[in-house]
Every structure is written in C-alpha cells, then in structure tokens.
Structure 1
C-alpha cells in the first residue's frame, strides 16, 4: 500500500475531519457558555436557537447539513476507492471538499441573502460533481 493518499481518499477523510471540526466548535461554544455562567448545561435547544447572536443556530445547521449530505458523498467516494476507480473521482475530489467547507463557512458567517446565495453555489458545485461522478462510474459518460 502506498504511503501517499489519493485525492479521493484525502477528500473522504477531509469530509469526516470537517464534521469533527464543526463538532469541536459547537462543544467549545457551548462549554464556554456553561463555564461562564451564561447558560445552564441542560438549557441548550437542539437547534441552537437559544444561543447568543444566532451563531449557535447557524453552527448546528451547518453541521446538520454536513450530516445530511455525508452518506451521498461518502458512498460515491468509497465506491470509487473500493472498486479501483478513484481516477474518476480524483480530479474533482479536492474541489468537492473545498466546496463543502466553503458552504459551511458561508452558513456560519451569516444568513444575509448574499451568503445564502454563496452557500447555495457551494452546494450546487458539490451536486454537479457527484452527478458527474455517478455518470462516469456507471459508464453513462466517458
């Protein structure tokens, strides 16, 4: 086995790492609120809606959005890696990862219209990449 990872493997691990980073930010934010006495440990709304300045809600949604899309992204990348077809996904794998991170960061920054449009653009890039991969992996596209 080679010691260097393919771009597809890096993207797969990067997607998992990004979700972990978002979780650490969430734990840190909530921990600081509890330790500072601003919130009780059992007072957090599951959707983050009762955290200061709305950041908690955006953070929860950014993480949930990653969770919602992870099965699709993982399935295609894992299939390509497991079947020896990572040449199909390698070329755009890092762009997919970057688009996922970009989408989440836009989500964290604001819900102003421009950021929602930017977030959508990042999501659309991911959808188009995965659709292209599925076409190529299925043999429907060259």
Structure 2
C-alpha cells in the first residue's frame, strides 16, 4: 500500500562531483559521438547524465533518497517518466553540485483497463557551489492495482 504521508519528504543533501571520465563513460554507454563529450578538458554533461544521481544517493547513504518512503510494491511498480530541466548551461566536468531529493506528488487515477493507478514523483535539485539552482531531475513512478498476470 502506497504511503501518502511520504508527500513532501526530503532526503539529506549529497555531493555530486562531475568527473570527466564519468562523462566519457556515459557518452560511450549511450553511443554518443558528440565531440562536446570527448574533446574538451572540461566537457559538458549529456542531458540525461543526471540519471546517475540515483547511484550517488545510494553511496550517500539511505537518508539521501526519500523514494523508499513512498512504499511502492515493486512487483506492481514501473518507471513512468523522467524529465530534466536546466536553469542555464549544463554543468561541466570539475563542478561539484549539491543535490537534494523530495517527494513532490502522490496521486491516483483510474486506469483504462480497470483498476487504480498510483503515481508518485520525486524531484532532485542540483545546486552549484554558490547555491544557485543548476538543474532538476523529475522521476515519476506508477504502481498498478494488481500484480501483472494476477487476477486476469
């Protein structure tokens, strides 16, 4: 059962060090040939690079991610959407950001095939050394009313 009390819960801030090698690894994994990721000494991050913050949260400790507080049943949960917003140029290698995640939405709606769908969103804000908001990553997950294949 989804925990609606998780709405507004925030994780502890954690550091995100943007490293040149990690940008190149990410570009290679996504098969990008964009020279902006390869040639520069301080390359800009690919737009979806911020997805890797989920790993940083794990390394930062359990308190960094409030997502577990939503209590989705993973047998019925799915990743529904991912969105990135940059408030200026994307960060470059050599930058250290402070990130903090917060549960921003939890709501239900009726599914087309019957059954209730529960949605939850988590926004992670990325701030530079001066505290300026650089980027936001929004993750939306959905939980179905039944485990797929059961009750069909």
Higher strand share: 2
Structure whose residues are more often helix by fraction: 1
Measured against the shorter chain, the TM-score band is under 0.3
What TM-score does the superposition give when structure 1 sets the normalisation length?
A: 0.26
